[in-house]
Amino acid sequence: MAEHVLDIRNLTVDYETRGTRRRAVDGVSLHVEPGEVLGVVGESGSGKSTIAQSIIGLQAPNAHILSGSVRLRNTELLGASKKMWRQVRGTRIGLIPQDPNNSLNPLRTVGASIAEPMLLHSGQQQGSVRRRVLALLEMVGIPEPERRARQYPHELSGGMKQRVLIAAAVALEPEVVIADEPTSALDVTVQRRILDLIDDLRSRMDTAVVLITHDMGVARERADRLLVMHDGREEESGPTREVLAIPKRDYTRTLIANVPAMALRTRPKIDVDESVPPLVEVRGLTREFARGRRSVPFRAVDDVSFVVPRGTTHALVGESGSGKTTIGRLLAGFDRASAGSIRVADHDVGSLRNGERKRFRRAVQLVYQNPFGSLDPRQSVSSIVAEPLRNFGIGSGAEREAMVAEMLDAVALPEQYANRLPRELSGGQRQRVAIARALVAEPDLVVLDEAVSALDVTVQAQILRLLEKLQRERGLTYIFISHDLAVVRQISDSVTVLKEGIQVEAGDTETLFTDPQHPYTQALLEAVPGWTLLGDPSI
Amino acid sequence: MIRSIWLRPSVVVSLLVIVVVASWALFPGVFASHDPLAGSPGEALQPPSGAHWFGTDATGRDLFSRVVAGSVHSLTGGAAAVTIGCVTGTTMGIVAGAVGGIVDDILMRIVDVLLAIPGLLLALSVVILLGFGTTNAAIAVGVTSVATFARLARSQVVEVRATDYVEAAFGSGGSFGSVLVRHIVPNSMAPVVALVALQFGSAILQIATLGFLGYGAPPPTPEWGLLIAEGRDYLATAWWLTTLPGAVVAAVVLATKGLSTTLRKVLG
């Protein structure tokens, strides 16, 4: 029998909540060899994080491991004593957590955080630990390690924090590293560097890596073998290329088809009638935020201009801090520009008078990123969707009811959901409600602010199809704000690429994606996981 | 989950205490075995027994009947105090949080001043201004809780106001008033309801304190604080005169506290 570093057999885990049991992981087996990356892929609720927690013995208190075995070389980890766990965690198994922003102790310097496992386990001297910390920081690509080691987590960016956590995870050269969604909280260009780093460490130290991710693109690019999870069960597993090229199961096929980076662009080119003035016209838009009395104000948006013809989708793309959300709020009239102008239909958004404001509100609607925060938790679905009708005084009571029912039908929400509360709906269903609320009063323009970013890929694909269908049927115009270039390529007709508030490139989507001019656009495109493999005929 | 929380032993005991005391207030005749005001000098200062559950006082009045008769003063006083505090305080808080700007500053500085004065001292000053009596004691106690309600309501409103769904409601064409009434207030009120239960207990305690100090109901009203004050002279010989009414006050206060915690869990 071959010697696996980590060998999980038939693992079954239940969660108990309020007396009822739910199976989270159902008879899953996996193994990893030294220097190999195993990608565990699945959507939220598929049980992939539960597997990670079981490997390192940090499962939630209401988790019950019913059967199976988790072996690290010759050591059985299930049912291990606390003392044994202390000897295993950090030294033999390292963990790279999901969100770097709350995984470091804010009261300790990052150097102290990295040194902690070494001081606890290896019994090295202070001086040699210090040298090792600096060497590790240098290895994970942090410039000026001496200075950084003395800094506190809040002084570092998200990507830097994740590097620090990686340094801490590999400090004692563990045999296995578990990376639980290591980059989902980071921007694409940062994500790419972090994944490169994990790759590099694996080949240098011959570590086995369990890479847990919801992102098929990441898995495709980085994993040697894949394990596809669905509802706690193994759907299929095998070498990455085989699984992706000849998926055996329907679920895997759907999952692959729904990854925007792997889907083909199907959007037809829309012929714009040049004689009709565009619906949206943004000229020299600038928004400054004051920071204290003396210093120069911060420019979140700096001289941005674009036009959007009626019935088309214009995308605003950029990483965090690029000013894209600020532009969205300016467009929806929730914020005032410092300079420049926005015109939507016949409204000058900068100078709306009271009566006009209400007409403008009806013409422009905003859909938010987080479907959990944008719906009033105390109101039923039908009353949420009916609210714009009530406010704008559209229709009588009975007519409104009919319009709400029709709208819910248009966003494919079954009738019986009308009386439910938001908390009884899934993320995708909530986003459908938010879209229904935005569309019910028949606006001209809908600003979609990262409207699909919080959703699983299959749900994301459904919502994107829904948005396209509604656009065709109702002649809607969309402003699509996103950090995800693959999604943007699928849904938009024209794009503005933003970096730190400045528009670096703009134009027709297909042209911009096939022939990016600006180095930043090129870097963004290359960083999309799975992008470089697009033209690879062997997959 | 809601059902199981209400069935926890501590919650059941809390509810039981409140139900018993409330029935004392509503139907004193059913529970009191004697006239709370008429004494029989022959039975003075008797320890608790089958005939007199809580014993008798210096003039031979049945202490249990007096405690039962006093419950109505404490409960109505507590309810009045909480109503005053909750209505004024919450209104101030909602206005401050929703309007913001200079209105917020002015209202919250008033609240700061109220909070800076110790509660009992404030209550005493109000009683001295308004005159003695059960009603005025309730008003005084109500004034002391205005600041607490105002702070809580304001912080809730400020938090809810910043949510996406409130902005979305404005985006759906809602006016300031309609968004306030439909979205902001309903989503801010859960902790305020829990605070009502909590403040009810401490209002009863404060009213009893005022009664004890002689600023509340005049004798021979069987007000709880007054009962304890009267029993003080016999502390060495008749322990039950202070201990048993004191225990009743403590039980009610603890029960409302338990209820408040439960409400916060259920509503929150």
Full DSSP string of A54-81: HHHT---TTEEEEEEEEEETTEE-TT--
By C-alpha distance, the chain B residue nearest A18 is B1
Residues of chain A with C-beta less than 8 angstroms from the C-beta of B178 = 391
Q: Per-residue pLDDT for chain A (539 aa), expressed as one digit of tens each? A: 457 888 998 999 888 877 778 888 888 999 898 889 999 988 877 888 888 888 888 888 888 888 888 888 888 888 888 888 888 887 888 888 877 777 888 888 888 888 888 887 777 788 888 888 998 888 888 888 888 888 888 888 777 888 888 888 888 888 899 988 887 777 777 788 888 888 888 888 888 999 998 888 888 888 999 999 988 888 888 898 888 888 888 888 888 887 776 556 667 777 777 778 889 999 999 998 887 776 788 888 999 999 999 989 999 998 877 888 899 999 998 888 899 999 998 888 888 887 788 889 999 999 988 888 899 999 999 999 999 999 998 888 899 999 999 999 888 888 888 888 888 888 888 888 999 999 998 899 999 998 888 778 888 888 898 899 899 888 899 999 988 888 888 889 999 999 988 999 998 888 888 888 999 988 888 877 766 544 443 33
Asked if the Cβ–Cβ distance from B172 to A388 is below 8 Å, we say yes
pTM for the complete prediction?
0.78
B137, B216 Cβ separation under 8 angstroms: yes
Which residues form the domain of B124?
2-28+61-267
Distance from CA of B196 to the nearest CA of A (A): 21
Q: Which one of A20, A361, A364, A376 would you mutate to disrupt binding with B, by most B Cβ within 10 Å of its Cβ?
A: A376
Q: Which two tokens stand for residue B83?
A: 């109503």
Looking at beta carbons, which residues of chain B come within 8 Å of A388?
Answer: 172-173
Considering only CB atoms, A373 lies closest to which of B163, B169, B174, namely B163
Partner-chain contact A377 B187, CB within 8 Å = yes
Residues of A in contact with B172 (CB under 8 A): 361, 365, 387-388, 391, 437, 441
Question: Whole-angstrom Cα distance, residue A459 to residue A44?
Answer: 11
Pairing mode, if any, of strands A6-17 and A63-72?
antiparallel
What is the number of residues in chain B? 268
Disruptive mutation site among A374, A384, A445, A447 for chain B (greatest number of B CBs within 10 Å): A374
Return contacts of A125-131, CB within 8 angstroms, 24+ apart: none
| Within-domain flag for B171 | yes
Q: What residues of A are in contact with residue B171 (Cβ under 8 Å)?
A: 332, 334, 361, 365-366
B46 in a domain, yes or no? no
* Residues of chain B found within 8 Å of residue A330, distances taken between Cβ atoms: none
Tell me whether domains A6-258 and A267-345+484-539 share a fold: yes
Beta bridge partners of A367: A448
Segments making up each domain of chain A, as ranges = 6-258, 267-345+484-539
Contacts of residue B167 in chain A, CB cutoff 8 Å?
334, 366
DSSP string, A11-44: EEEEEEETTEEEEEEEEEEEEE-TT-EEEEE--T
List CB contacts (< 8 A) between A437 and chain B: 168, 172
Whether B164 sits inside 8 A of A334 (CB atoms) is no
What is the count of structural domains for chain B?
A: 1
Answer yes or no: do A392 and B173 touch at CB < 8 A. yes
- For A437-486, the pLDDT digits (tens) are 999 988 999 999 988 887 788 888 888 988 998 998 888 999 999 888 88
Of all residues in chain B, the one with the smallest CA distance to A359 is B173
* A376 contacts on B by Cβ (under 8 Å): 165, 169, 182-183, 187
User: B3 and A19 in contact (C-beta within 8 Å)?
Assistant: no
Contact A161, A127 (CB under 8 A): no
Secondary structure (3-state) at B173: coil
Q: Give the Cα separation of A285 and A485 in Å (integer).
A: 23
- In this predicted model, what pLDDT tens digit does every residue of B214-230 receive, in sequence order? 888 888 888 898 888 88
Count CB atoms within 10 A of the CB of residue A338: 16
> Which of B84, B139, B90, B146 is CA-nearest to residue B115?
B146
Give the C-alpha separation, A437 to A431, whole Å.
Answer: 10
**Is there a contact between B159 and B228 (Cβ–Cβ < 8 Å)?**
no
Mean of the per-residue pLDDT values of chain B? 89
* Strand A75-76 relative to strand A63-72, pairing: antiparallel
- SS3 state at B93: helix
Distance of CA B18 to the CA centre of its chain: 12
pLDDT of residue A513: 85
- Using a CB-CB cut-off of 8 Å, the residues of chain B touching A387 are 169, 172, 174, 182
Taking contacts as CB-CB distances below 8 angstroms, the residues of chain A near B176 are none
Please tell me the distance in Å from B108's CA to the nearest CA on chain A.
Answer: 25
CB contact under 8 A, A437 and B187: no
A487 in Cβ contact with A246 (< 8 Å): no
Q: Which CATH number covers residue B78?
A: 1.10.3720.10
pLDDT at position A113: 87
Which pLDDT belongs to residue A496?
A: 94
CB contact under 8 A, A388 and B168: no
Distance from CA of A154 to the nearest CA of B (A): 24
Taking alpha carbons only, the member of B17, B49, B28, B67 closest to residue B228 is B67
| Homologous superfamily in CATH for domain A267-345+484-539 | P-loop containing nucleotide triphosphate hydrolases (3.40.50.300)
pLDDT at residue A539, rounded to an integer: 39
Q: Which amino acid is at B155?
A: S
Provide, as residue numbers in chain A, all residues whose Cβ is less than 8 Å from the Cβ of B187.
Answer: 376-378
Query: Is B36 part of any domain?
Result: no
- Domain presence at residue B38: no
In this structure, how many other beta carbons lie within 10 angstroms of the beta carbon of residue A204?
A: 12
Q: Cα(A282)–Cα(A342) distance, rounded to whole angstroms?
A: 5
The reported pLDDT for the residue numbered A141 is 80
Cα B225–B227–B230 angle (5° rounding)? 110
Chain A residue whose CA is closest to B164: A374
A55 contacts: CB under 8 Å, gap ≥ 6: A6, A8, A70, A77, A93, A176, A178, A210
Indicate the residue of A365, A375, A378 with minimum beta-carbon distance to B171. A365
Q: Cβ of A378 and B186 within 8 Å?
A: yes
State the DSSP code for A380: -
Out of B1, B164, B172, closest to residue A391 by CB: B172
Among candidate residues A198, A450, A197, the one with its CA nearest the CA of residue A320: A450
A361 contacts B172? CB cut-off 8 A: yes
CA–CA separation, B71 vs B61, rounded Å? Answer: 16
The beta-carbon neighbor of A378 closest among B169, B172, B187 is B187
A374: contact with B, CB 8 A cutoff: yes
What pLDDT score does A262 carry? 58
A332 touches chain B (CB under 8 A): yes
Nearest residue on chain B to A379, judged by CA atoms?
Answer: B183
Q: Are A446 and A311 in contact (CB under 8 A)?
A: no
Contact A18 B1 (CB under 8 A): yes
The Cα A73–Cα A78 span in angstroms is 13
Q: Cβ separation of B165 and A437 shorter than 8 Å?
A: no
The residue length of chain A stands at: 539
Q: Do B173 and A362 touch (CB under 8 A)?
A: yes
| CA-wise closest residue to B212 among B177, B186, B249, B180 | B249
Measured CB to CB, residues of chain B less than 8 Å from chain A are 1, 4, 163-165, 167-175, 178, 182-183, 186-187
CA distance linking residue A7 with residue A10, whole number of Å = 10
Fold classification of A6-258 (topology level): Rossmann fold (3.40.50)
- Choosing among B156, B163, B172, B183, which should be mutated to test the A contact, i.e. which has the most A CBs within 10 A? B172
A365 CB neighbours in chain B (<8 A) are 171-172
- Listed by number, the residues of chain A in 384-443 with a beta carbon closer than 8 Å to a beta carbon of chain B are 387-388, 391-392, 434, 437, 441
Segments in chain B below pLDDT 70: 1-3, 268
CB-based contact A99:A185 (threshold 8 Å): yes
Inter-chain contact B165–A374, Cβ cutoff 8 Å?
Answer: yes
- Residues B105 and B95: their CA atoms lie apart, in Å, by 11
Contact assignment for A365 to B165 by CB distance below 8 Å: no
